[in-house]
C-alpha cells in the first residue's frame, strides 16, 4: 500500500471540530496522537470497545499504543453483527464503564465497523451525560460513512437505529492497512456507499471509479485509488455534515438509495442482502425513478449501473419478493415527514435533491423491472 496520508477536518463549531486522519500503519501511533491533541489526559482512562475478530487482529496494537503513551486502557469485546446492536450490548458497555470507573474526562475508543461504532458512540453520548469518543473504523463502510458525522445508536426490536443521539467523535483515525483482513463481500458492499458519494456529491470521484475495471475486491483497487476513495468520501461527508449536522435538509442526501434499500433489507428480514447490497439496489431504483421523472438522464443512469456491476453488487430481486410489502415498508422509514416519504433523487453526476413526488406506484413499477 502507498504511504500516502491525508487529513480532512469536520468543520463544526468549537470543540466539536475534529479531524479524520487517514494514514497507513497509523494504528500503532494512536496513543501518541491522543497525547498530542490532549484527549483523555486528565483521567487517563480509556475503554476500547471492539468485536472478537477485529480485536484479535488489531487489539494488541491499539492497546499497547495506548499503554506506551501512558494511558490506563481496558477493553470490552462484544459479539459482531447487526443483531447485537441492542440495549443488551449497550448495557455491557455501561457495565464496563462503571467497572473501569470512567470519568467525564475519560475516553471511549470504538475499534471496529459500524455496529461497534454506533453502540460505542451512543454509550459515549450518554455515559455521565457525555464523554469523549474516538472512532477507529476497521471496515470500508465505517471509514467512508458511519464513523464520521456523529450519528450513534442502537436498534429497537422493531426497527433499525430507532434509538440514538448525535455525538460527534473527537477524532476519526483511519489506517487503510486494516482493510486487508476485510471479507470481500463487506468490501464490495461498502463500494455501494462510495458510488453514492460519486453520484450525489463528487463527480470527480465518480470518474475515478469509472476508470477502474473492477471494484469488487481490494486487490483490484490500486493504493492510490483507495487513498482517493477514503479521502474524497471523508471530505464529502465532512462537508455535508458541517453544513447540516442534524439532518435539517442537506444531510438527507446521504440517504440516497437508502429509502428503498432499508425497505428491501427489512422485507427480506436482513438475511438476503447486507446493507450496502440493499443500498446498491436502492440506488438503481432511485436512479430509474429520477429518469422517469425527467430529473436525470438515461446515460447517467447507465453509467451508475455500470459502476454497480463493476462492484459485482446484486441488480435483481428474487421472483418471490413481496413488492407491496416493500412499498408499505417505505412509509415506516425514518425519512418520512408529515406522512410523505422523502426520496433522494440524482439530478446530475455529483448532485442530488430531496423529492416528495415519488409515489408508491412509481416505486413498484421500477421494482417490477428488476425482479428476476
Residues noted as catalytic: 129, 151, 193, 237, 247, 251, 255, 258, 262, 275
**CB closer to ligand GLY, 27 vs 134:** 134
**CB closer to ligand GLY, 69 vs 241:** 241
**CB closer to ligand GLY, 275 vs 310:** 275
**CB closer to ligand GLY, 25 vs 335:** 335
What is the Cα–Cα distance from 92 to 256, expressed in whole angstroms?
33
Residue 251 interacting with ligand GLY (CB under 6 A): yes
Residue 342 interacting with ligand GLY (CB under 6 A): no
Q: Give every CB contact of residue 286 below 8 A, 6+ residues apart in sequence.
A: 256, 257, 259, 260, 343, 344, 345, 346
> Closest separation between CB of residue 194 and ligand GLY, Å?
13
Count, residues in the chain: 372
Burial 209-229 (b: 16+ CB within 10 A, else e): bbeeeebbebeebeeebbbbb
Helix axes 223-243 and 203-210, enclosed angle (nearest 10): 160
- Contact at 8 Å (CB) between 47 and 132? no
> Closest separation between CB of residue 254 and ligand GLY, Å?
4
**CB closer to ligand GLY, 117 vs 350:** 117
What is the Cα–Cα distance from 259 to 13, expressed in whole angstroms?
30
> Closest separation between CB of residue 364 and ligand GLY, Å?
25
User: Hey, what's the cell of 356?
Assistant: 416528495
Q: Give every CB contact of residue 234 below 8 A, 6+ residues apart in sequence.
A: 8, 20, 22, 143, 144, 148, 172, 174
> Closest separation between CB of residue 124 and ligand GLY, Å?
16
**CB closer to ligand GLY, 132 vs 145:** 145
**CB closer to ligand GLY, 151 vs 167:** 151
Residue 182 interacting with ligand GLY (CB under 6 A): no
Output DSSP code: residue 371: B
> Closest separation between CB of residue 68 and ligand GLY, Å?
33
What is the Cα–Cα distance from 160 to 162, expressed in whole angstroms?
6
> Closest separation between CB of residue 176 and ligand GLY, Å?
20
What is the Cα–Cα distance from 249 to 251, expressed in whole angstroms?
6
> Closest separation between CB of residue 369 and ligand GLY, Å?
27
In the shown chain, the binding pattern of residues 88 to 127 toward ligand GLY, with x for contact by CB under 6 A and - for none, equals ----------------------------------------
Beta strands in the chain (DSSP E): 5-10, 18-23, 45-50, 72-77, 107-112, 132-137, 151-156, 159-166, 171-174, 336-337, 340-341, 343-348, 351-355
What is the Cα–Cα distance from 129 to 351, expressed in whole angstroms?
38
Q: What is the Cβ-side half-sphere exposure of residue 55, based on CA atoms within 13 angstroms?
A: 16
In the shown chain, the binding pattern of residues 184 to 213 toward ligand GLY, with x for contact by CB under 6 A and - for none, equals ------------------------------
How far is CA 371 from its chain centroid?
A: 27
Q: Which residue number places its CB atom closest to ligand GLY? A: 254
**CB closer to ligand GLY, 261 vs 350:** 261
In the shown chain, the binding pattern of residues 206 to 245 toward ligand GLY, with x for contact by CB under 6 A and - for none, equals ----------------------------------------
> Closest separation between CB of residue 149 and ligand GLY, Å?
4
Q: Tell how many helices (H) and how many strands (E) occur in the chain.
A: 14, 13
Which residue of 76, 254, 313, 349 would you call a contact of ligand GLY, by CB under 6 A? 254
Residues in 134-173 at the binding interface with ligand GLY, rule: CB under 6 A:
145, 149, 151
Q: Give every CB contact of residue 229 below 8 A, 6+ residues apart in sequence.
A: 144, 194, 205, 208, 209, 221
What does the binding site for ligand GLY look like in residue numbers (CB under 6 A)? 145, 149, 151, 251, 254
Amino acid at each position: 500500500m502507498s504511504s500516502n496520508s491525508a487529513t480532512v477536518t469536520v468543520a463544526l463549531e468549537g470543540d466539536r471540530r475534529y479531524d479524520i486522519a487517514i494514514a497507513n500503519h497509523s494504528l500503532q501511533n494512536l496513543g501518541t496522537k491522543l497525547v498530542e491533541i490532549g484527549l483523555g489526559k486528565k483521567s487517563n482512562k480509556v475503554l476500547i470497545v471492539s468485536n472478537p475478530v477485529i480485536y484479535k487482529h488489531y487489539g494488541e496494537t491499539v492497546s499497547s499504543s495506548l499503554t506506551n503513551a501512558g494511558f490506563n486502557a481496558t477493553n470490552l469485546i462484544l459479539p459482531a453483527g447487526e443483531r447485537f446492536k441492542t440495549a443488551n450490548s449497550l448495557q455491557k458497555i455501561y457495565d464496563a464503564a462503571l467497572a473501569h470507573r470512567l470519568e467525564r474526562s475519560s475516553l471511549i475508543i470504538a475499534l471496529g465497523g459500524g455496529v461497534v461504532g454506533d453502540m460505542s458512540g451512543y454509550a459515549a453520548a450518554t455515559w455521565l451525560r457525555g464523554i469523549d469518543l474516538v472512532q477507529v473504523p476497521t471496515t470500508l463502510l465505517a471509514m467512508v460513512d458511519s464513523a464520521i458525522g456523529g450519528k450513534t445508536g442502537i436498534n429497537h426490536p422493531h426497527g433499525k437505529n430507532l434509538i440514538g443521539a448525535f455525538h460527534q467523535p473527537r477524532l476519526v483515525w483511519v489506517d487503510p492497512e486494516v482493510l486487508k483482513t476485510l471479507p470481500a463481500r463487506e468490501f464490495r458492499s461498502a463500494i455501494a456507499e462510495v458510488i453514492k458519494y460519486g453520484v450525489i456529491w463528487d463527480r470527480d470521484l465518480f470518474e475515478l471509479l469509472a476508470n477502474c475495471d473492477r471494484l469488487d475486491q481490494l486487490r483490484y483497487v490500486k493504493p492510490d485509488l483507495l487513498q482517493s476513495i477514503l479521502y474524497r468520501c471523508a471530505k464529502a461527508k465532512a462537508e455535508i455534515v458541517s453544513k447540516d449536522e442534524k439532518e435539517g435538509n442537506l444531510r438527507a442526501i446521504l440517504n440516497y438509495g437508502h429509502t428503498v434499500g432499508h425497505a428491501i433489507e427489512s422485507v427480506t428480514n436482513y438475511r438476503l442482502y447486507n446493507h450496502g447490497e440493499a443500498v446498491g439496489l436502492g440506488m438503481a431504483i432511485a436512479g430509474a425513478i429520477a429518469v422517469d421523472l425527467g430529473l436525470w438522464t438515461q446515460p447517467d443512469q447507465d453509467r451508475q449501473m455500470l459502476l454497480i456491476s463493476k462492484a459485482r453488487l446484486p441488480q435483481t430481486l428474487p421472483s418471490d419478493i413481496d413488492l407491496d410489502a416493500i412499498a408499505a415498508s417505505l412509509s415506516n422509514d425514518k425519512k418520512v415527514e408529515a406522512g410523505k416519504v422523502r426520496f433522494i433523487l440524482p439530478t446530475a453526476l455529483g448532485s442530488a435533491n430531496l423529492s416528495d413526488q415519488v409515489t408508491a406506484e412509481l416505486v413498484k413499477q421500477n421494482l417490477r423491472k428488476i425482479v428476476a
